[in-house]
Structure 1
Amino acid sequence: MIGWYVHHHGHGHVARFLAVQPHLRTPVVVFSSMRRPAALASEVEWVELPTDADGFEDRDGVLRDPRDADPTVRGHLHWAPHGHPGHRARLAAIAAASVTRELQAFVVDVSAEVVAFARLLGLRTVAVTQPGARTDTPHALAYALADRIVAPWAHGAVPATGLSAHGDRVLWTGGISRYDGRTPDGAREPRSLLILGRVIDDDVREQVTALLRAHGWEVTAVGHDAASRVDDPWPLLSRSTVVLSAAGQNSVADLAAAGARAVVIAQERPFCEQDHTADALERWGLARRADASTSAAELVALVEAASEDSPDWARWQVSGGAGRMAAAVEAMLP
């Protein structure tokens, strides 16, 4: 059996697992603080872990903030707060399952501490990495300990200096999208913009919408709040003339799967992950780049310019990416 750790921040890590899992032939058990996704196959076991980021009572009954409990171990780890019962219970659940489920390999998406812990348990360990300047001590430790490192983007697209010393263990799968192989849902509608997710402030979105509609565009915004969420944005993604999206790994892979003309907005993330990705997309001519400081008028100009683009998304290597990651994981099994 394969163990798989899914980080709870955002939806990208679980989306990647949901894309890869159907390609696995080996049973898998997932560990995460997230609730079980509704779309997950019923045969996949999901272990919900306690949180380790909330306040906790110490032995004297004093409420403590984990940020004040030396969580980085003087910069050697990212998160391991002293005395936090949730943190201890998380690792205990993984250790217990490694015995009771007879785990043979463990995928970590993402956590330097879980990589180290899984390897200390003697498990063949696959670390999923992300773009950005990940040259800090915890990332260096995780990369050094992992038996395999998966980089889910096209080789050469995004610089990854932290991986340079581990090239023989790195697999560049290309982008991983849940939409890989899905056919477009009809022809592209002329002069139509899809704003995907909460990528710009509400007032900027309203200004962009008004300006584009004045130019004869149709504008659809989904995912920026609970009321606007849709279960399956693929029809909109594949039919829109231009998509305005974040520059996260899963968002970009979905754009590539749809062959979309795009404007990507680099959102603030640790290690400048989205800035590095957005720079790469602009450099390769795959998307127009913007950021939080880009005005509504500038975004409108970028959207109209992007409508004339012909991006060669094949360069992002999404086709078969999920299958390549699944094969790499199962290749670790004894």
Structure 2
Amino acid sequence: MGLTGWYVHHHGAGHLTRFRAVRRFLPGAVVVFSSLPEPAALPPATTWIHLDRDDDGRPADADPTAGGLLHWAPLGHAGHARRFAAIAGALGARRFDRFVVDVSVEVALLVRLLGVPTVVITQPGDRGDAPHRLAYSTAARVLAPWPAGTHPAPATRALVEVGGISRFDGRERVVRPDPGTVLVLGAGVAEPDFAAAASATPGTRWQLAGGSAATWLDDPWAALQRAEVVVTAAGQNSIADIAAAGARAVVVPQPRPFDEQVATGRVLADRRLAVVEPAWPAPHEWPAVLDRARAQHPDWTQWGVAGAARRAAEAITEVGA
């Protein structure tokens, strides 16, 4: 069992959400390292170490890639130095049996150089660059939160594809879809675009969830089930949550490094799991887009959500045991 470290990247809420989903099944104590604020409620036996940010000021002008060998290690940045010193200090003070990295090539390499085996969480898209290959080749496990064969696999025998990890895995479906209801998972959706789409589709009832404090839903499970159509970006957590709910969906991949969401959108379209649009549709296009989504019968069992969080925890626990 032992002690597990876990690095949670600060971009968006998805990395923290994935940690929470897996933590339910992960035995023993866990120390989390992140630039995110400590959540109000942590699971039992979980400690949070807050890290300084390393993306303020002008770090992009300070050779952060070390000539292409790394992704982010800006020269002369005090926050960057302090965050790495905090991780190194914690690993020097206690014996860690394993360390999950979601996601940072540099943290993965630091932890491995300090003698702790790493579990690196990979993501979709083109990850064949030198920094990614180095992080994967030094990892004891590379954990992929998608079903086997969904994306091109990193060239490592340590890969474990566990299925889509959703916080709603195991939750009972108790609400039936309500005809005419459209739920928009709102990260990155401009309110004028939302309003224009709703105005262009009379007879529908649109709900925006997320994107601001006013529309944020702590638990959107009932809303996901109630929606006749869910509109979302192609983030891993959003797709896994839609799969858990068995929902019909319109997916609009957002620009991300390494074409992460574009790659996921391509898989969803190929498997007929969602209507995939390359950009937010114009208002006059929405009636036809929603009609195509309503006509779908997606087999979301393909996404392997059932048991994925537990399988991830088991793969992590095997490291260093």
Q: Does the pair score TM above 0.5?
A: yes
- 1: CA distance between counterparts of 2:263 and 2:286? 20
Q: Give the residue type in structure 2 aligned to 1:140.
A: R
Identical-pair percentage: 48
What residue number does 1:331 align with? 318
Among candidates 222, 238, 252, match of residue 265 of structure 1: 252
Q: Does the 8 A contact of 1:108 with 1:127 survive in 2?
A: yes
Give the drift of 1:303. Answer: 1.5
Aligned with 1:177 (options 162, 166, 174): 166
**Matched residues in 2 for 1:78 and 1:36: separation?**
25
How far did residue 37 of structure 1 move? 1.9
- Correspondence for 1:157: 150
Tell me which residue corresponds to 2:101.
108
In the other structure, the counterpart of 1:20 is 22
The letter of the residue matching 2:227 is S
1:41-52 matches, cutoff 5 A: 41-52=43-54
Is the CA contact (8 Å cut-off) linking 2:147 and 2:303 kept in structure 1? Answer: yes
Tell me how large the CA RMSD over aligned residues is: 1.3
Provide the rounded CA distance (Å) in 2 between the counterparts of 1:71 and 1:299: 42
1:21 and 1:326 in contact (8 A); partners too: yes
Query: Which one of the candidate residues 216, 225, 236 is aligned to 1:238?
Result: 225
Residue 40 of structure 1, CA deviation: 2.5
- Assess if the C-alpha contact under 8 Å between 2:108 and 2:120 holds in 1: yes
Q: Please, which runs of 5 or more residues in structure 2 have no aligned partner? A: none
Structure 2 CA distance for partners of 1:314 and 1:39, relative to 1, 3 Å: farther
Letter in 1 for 2:198: T
CA distance in 2, matches of 1:278, 1:39: 34
Q: 2:267 aligns with which of 270, 274, 280?
A: 280
Counterpart check, 1:223 vs 2:216: no
State whether residues 185 and 239 of structure 1, in contact with CA within 8 Å, keep that contact through their aligned partners in structure 2.
no
Q: Tell whether the 8 Å contact from 2:252 to 2:280 is kept in structure 1 after alignment.
A: no
Tell me, in whole angstroms, the C-alpha distance in 1 between the residues paired with 2:137 and 2:48: 28
Separation in 2 of the partners of 1:111 and 1:2? 17
Matched residues in 1 for 2:37 and 2:276: separation?
33
**C-alpha deviation, 1:70, in angstroms:** 1.2
Does 1:82 pair with 2:75?
yes
Give the SS at the match of 2:31: strand
TM-score (ref. length: structure 2): 0.96
Equivalent positions of 1:204-215 (< 5 A) are 204-212=193-201, 214=202
Distance 2:277 2:175 in 1: 28
What does the per-residue CA deviation read over 1:138-167, in whole Å, with 9 as the maximum and x for residues that have no partner?
A: 11111111111001011122334xx1x21x
Q: Distance in 1 between matches of 2:320 and 2:284?
A: 53
Residue of structure 1 in register with 2:61 after alignment? 68
Tell me the matched-pair count: 319
Per the TM alignment, residue 134 of structure 1 is displaced from its structure 2 partner at its CA by: 1.1
C-alpha displacement at 1:293, in angstroms? 5.1
Q: In the alignment, what sits opposite 1:254? A: 241
Measure how far apart 1:224 and its partner are. 2.9
Check the 8 A contact 2:28/2:45 in 1, yes or no. Answer: no
Determine if contact 1:72/1:79 at 8 Å carries over to the other structure.
yes
How far apart in 2 are the matches of 1:66 and 1:181? Answer: 43
Aligned partner of 1:198 in structure 2 is 187
Deviates more, 1:105-114 or 1:304-313: 304-313
Residues 60-84 of structure 1, C-alpha deviations (whole Å, 9 max, x = no match) = xxxxx22221111001001111121
- 1:3 aligned to which of 2, 5, 12: 5
Q: TM-score, normalised to structure 1's length? A: 0.92
